[in-house]
Amino acid sequence: MEGLIPESLNEALDALSKERFIPVAGGTDLMVRYKRWKNLTPALPYPPLFISQLKELKGIYRENGEIIIKSATELSEIEKSPLVPSILRKAVSQMASPGIRNMGTIGGNIQNASPAGDTLPPLYVLDARVVLLSKNERRCLYIYEFIKGPGKTERLDNEIIYEVRFKIPTHTHEFYRKVGTRKANALSKLSVAALAQLNEEVLEDFRISFGAVAPTPIRRMEIEERIRGKALSKLDDHLIDEIAHAYEKHINPITDQRSDKTYRKKVTLRLLKAFLYQIRSR
């Protein structure tokens, strides 16, 4: 199996237009997914296309009110960049271990599309868009359109994730919690990312996303709409219970080696309420 180490993004896209390759960025997901106990090299289903050396896929930029993170930017770079909103930095800083964060990339975490992928809930509430490039086309999809199911995305075989971009958020309140077995090197049992904007006692914006409690992260715009624009005085216990109840049917976790579905659901709803109480107390 012949792999390729392209010298430019154009060379990588050209290769993908002719033959099927599997892009390898940090390799931290791929090496585990395709490991073989008795052999040194993992059994990749297609030849590897190494992309982590491509400078076109590296860096974090601010441009016209947006933050742009190139896909092969390592998690450790994102964690320390002052350009990156703290909700995403918090999530990244709790992922894996420093060694994995030095190798793993944001593009890899997105394309892996794990229900427990920790960059996803913050990217959902940031309304992030994923930019895909093929030899002759550029596509831009919202992250919640791009992620289709566990391990499934809208990416076509001839495409590379080029970057992720989102408007610089202007929220007054933010909330991020990851519940794992340990503080470090533990996949999420569940996670919650949320942003809100309070302006003169009016809740002008409210966004919340839940990770690891359904096949894809959950974000429900129609429920957010029910509290968006409400005066803070209306955010009473009754409304908070009503909102939690509305999310209940969308939170459908599984029981697996990391956690139990009853625990996952209960804690997720408690964290949702905790954020609403936090907003109410300003």
Which residues contact ligand FAD by CB under 6 A?
A: 22-30, 32, 51, 71-72, 75, 95-96, 100, 103-105, 107-109, 111-112, 117-118, 155, 160-161, 185, 187
> Measured from the CB atom, is 34 or 226 closer to ligand FAD?
34
Please report which helix (H) or strand (E) contains residue 131, including its range. Answer: strand 129-133
> Measured from the CB atom, is 117 or 217 closer to ligand FAD?
117
CB 223 within 8 A of CB 230: no
Give least dist CB 123 to ligand FAD, A: 11
Sequence-distant (≥ 6) Cβ neighbours of residue 190 within 8 angstroms: 178, 179, 210, 211, 212, 213, 253, 259, 264, 267, 268, 271
Give least dist CB 257 to ligand FAD, A: 14
> Measured from the CB atom, is 2 or 222 closer to ligand FAD?
2
> Measured from the CB atom, is 114 or 268 closer to ligand FAD?
114
* Residue recorded with tokens 């909103």: 85
Distances (CA, A) of 23 to 42, 50, 152, 156, 246: 14, 6, 15, 12, 40
Give least dist CB 61 to ligand FAD, A: 16
Q: Nearest 5°: phi and psi at 239? A: -65, -40
For the CA atoms of 148, 3, 136, 56, what is the dihedral angle to 10 degrees? 90
Q: Which of 184, 34, 174 is nearest to 112 (CA)?
A: 34
CB 30 within 8 A of CB 63: no
Give least dist CB 178 to ligand FAD, A: 8
Residue nearest to ligand FAD as judged by C-beta position: 108
Give counts: helices (H), strands (E), the chain.
Answer: 11, 13
Give least dist CB 244 to ligand FAD, A: 26
Give least dist CB 22 to ligand FAD, A: 5
Residue burial 41-58, b: 16+ Cβ < 10 Å; e: rest: eeebeeebbbbbebebbb
Half-sphere exposure for 140 (CA within 13 Å, toward CB) = 8
Give least dist CB 278 to ligand FAD, A: 25
What tokens does 233 get?
């005085």
Q: Which of 98, 101, 80, 100 is nearest to 89 (CA)?
A: 80
Give least dist CB 224 to ligand FAD, A: 24
